[in-house]
Chains A and B, each alone.
Chain A
């Protein structure tokens, strides 16, 4: 099992490194930030001078080497736009990103799982269709629209929740629901299928024959087996929850790394983008390894070595 984990980790490290390299070169193909850093009236000579000072006139491969050298010394560098250490800039956003991802997962699971179970149990009926429509609604509306409607309703009209920002638990509610709505239907549908699969197995029939109620059967047996695909999906979605929350973060003025990533791409603040990519891909890989371990915890029959 350790061997398996080791090889997965090695492969993962190579994958991360690949991502970083791709992003490094693609970013540099798209120009450099010099033009954004000079005032409108700057002359060609001033621009060339600044470009030289910033080191963007060096060959790409030299810049890449220098970057890797810094990275090996665990130095993420300094942002050209903000003139502050990249580690500080990105590090400051990570707690907010994790809060939002956590909130969204809770919202998605809290609604998606029970809905999925209900859809499986009352299969084919009106309840299933109604629930399916509600769950899918979250996924069928563009967040930039549903988000502003949420703000207008709960923030402005009713005044229950703060309209923007990240200064209290209350301000986490709306962005979490808006972001969670996107994955909620995936969870509901996965759960529905998994529960349906389990419900027709012999052990369920046997349990029911023993006189166990449906609810008890689900709680005791089905839930454990249906958990595996759900954990898989959760791990797969983590990348999107972390840095894919761009639109939610923009609409709700939530200071996460998604918004920072987009702004940094648009400002060609290379080092910040690279640090974010590194963070996201490492987290994604870590979460997927954890998911593998979770399978064992959920179902001891699974052996990782297999």
Chain B
């Protein structure tokens, strides 16, 4: 039996090697793309399709450094003005030239409130954009804005003439960009087919055709991979990864990302109003076991609510140790034994982590009841008043900008919808870090901010989350921390 198997495998390998080149790459998505107009939805499935159709103003290299793409160079004219030099040899897929006007149009369209872009808040620090030379664009920000370039890695450049000719609705159905792939067919819910663009300016795209198929159920995606129906599948959990590890003829691509898993602890309502209870929670949660058992090693411990892949991560912050005895003592001190905590959650969040945390807190004398809501209702309560928001909840946060500003500002700044916390000193620190371009100053500000968060514990960081992909072994690709999915960076090697 084993012999025939290995012969079969050898034959498959041989026939594979004989083939000159792989033409079609098939990708299993977690869900269908919601939109292919790159300026509407920013969910990871839509983005992983349309970002292959468009080029970005700037981009990140493998190490995460911001490097040129459509813009060849940039410099700050003053703290609120950045000047970009635009490449003049890029053509859209219909043959027209990409001009600085297209870049300005792209910025203005996504920042226009009337366009109702869900991405607006990522770009709304930009207050002006104009063509300032034959191949030059100038952007103005409200205040000095250190995260501008990180945000611009997500600015897809769209063709002004085509968008205006087609109109927004038609452009969403028939998007056209300057990227390595052009849309052949979008059969909603079934598959999206992209064709390689001849003469693409960054080189020949690695596959002639790329097919994206929405397969919601993770077990089915795994089956697709094992049966060879898909070449790469997105969105595997640690347990699926662990069960595929031993399987021959497959590879797992796991990468630590800028996403941080954390537990929110409500400091403004319920038993967790008492800082001793919050500290007890921090000491009751056994992060190492969560990482080794539940995450199967796909996670790295963090010292604060930030991923080490983000600017501002401070390794000198001391995390709370796992110490159930001390936690029990604190709970007793606070008179909170048997206090009931509401654990607000939604189906999108890992059920196993909820239940594990529930038991760990139960072990130190806190009674946790899990309240499952569907996602919109969950968001309404979590972002509502402190009384609505429950005592604890879990989250996996990424701002797709690899900067502390996009994480702890919205999570903990007074008045932000996610924040149930208010500390003027913390606000001052993160406000200061947001308004200067001086990196040293920013790091110092974030150090102060994280020290304050450590004292007040409005949340605790659990681990740096991993993105896990399953693929055929011939696919060569190094996924990056920003969870970008560029087919251009992949290739096939028999």
Contacts and interface: CB of A to CB of B under 8 A. Distances in A.
Contact of A148 (B124, B187, B219, B399): B219
A210 interface: no
Contacts of A116: none
Contacts of B31: 263
Interface residues of A, number: 54
Contacts of B118: 37-39, 50
B116 A164 contact: no
A240 B214 CA distance: 23
A78 B116 CA distance: 14
A165 B229 contact: yes
Interface in B342-390: 374-377, 379-380, 383
Interface string B426-456: 0000000000000000000000000000000
A4 B379 CA distance: 50
A50 B380 contact: no
A82 interface: yes
Contacts of A162: 227, 229
Nearest to B114: A53
A85 B172 CA distance: 11
B195 interface: no
Contact of A53 (B116, B214, B377, B410): B116
Contact of A35 (B189, B226, B379): B379
A229 interface: no
B220 interface: yes
Nearest to B31: A263
Contacts, number: 149
Contacts of B88: none
B375 to A, nearest CB: 6
Nearest to B33: A82
B121 A39 contact: yes
B1 interface: no
Interface residues of B, number: 55
Interface in B33-87: 34-35, 37, 40-42
A42 B121 contact: yes
A78 B169 contact: yes
A148 B240 CA distance: 14
A83 B379 contact: no
A57 to B, nearest CB: 14
Interface string A28-42: 001111011111111
Interface in B168-190: 168-169, 172-173, 187-190
Nearest to B401: A41
Contacts of A37: 118
A252 B416 CA distance: 41
Nearest to B119: A39
Interface in A50-93: 50, 53-54, 78, 81-85, 88-89, 92-93
Contacts of B376: 30-33, 35-36, 266-268
B120 interface: yes
Contacts of A202: none
B485 interface: no
Contact of A43 (B40, B121, B122, B375): B121
A83 B168 contact: yes
A229 B472 CA distance: 52
A189 to B, nearest CB: 31
Interface stretch (A119-127, A133-141, A149-157, A191-199): A149-157
A163 B374 contact: no
25 contacts: A30-B377, A32-B376, A38-B121, A39-B119, A40-B418, A41-B410, A42-B121, A44-B417, A50-B116, A81-B34, A81-B35, A83-B40, A92-B189, A148-B220, A152-B223, A164-B224, A251-B219, A251-B220, A253-B214, A253-B216, A253-B217, A255-B189, A259-B189, A260-B189, A266-B376
Top 8 nearest A-B pairs by Cβ distance? A255-B189, A41-B410, A253-B215, A42-B121, A35-B379, A163-B223, A37-B118, A163-B227
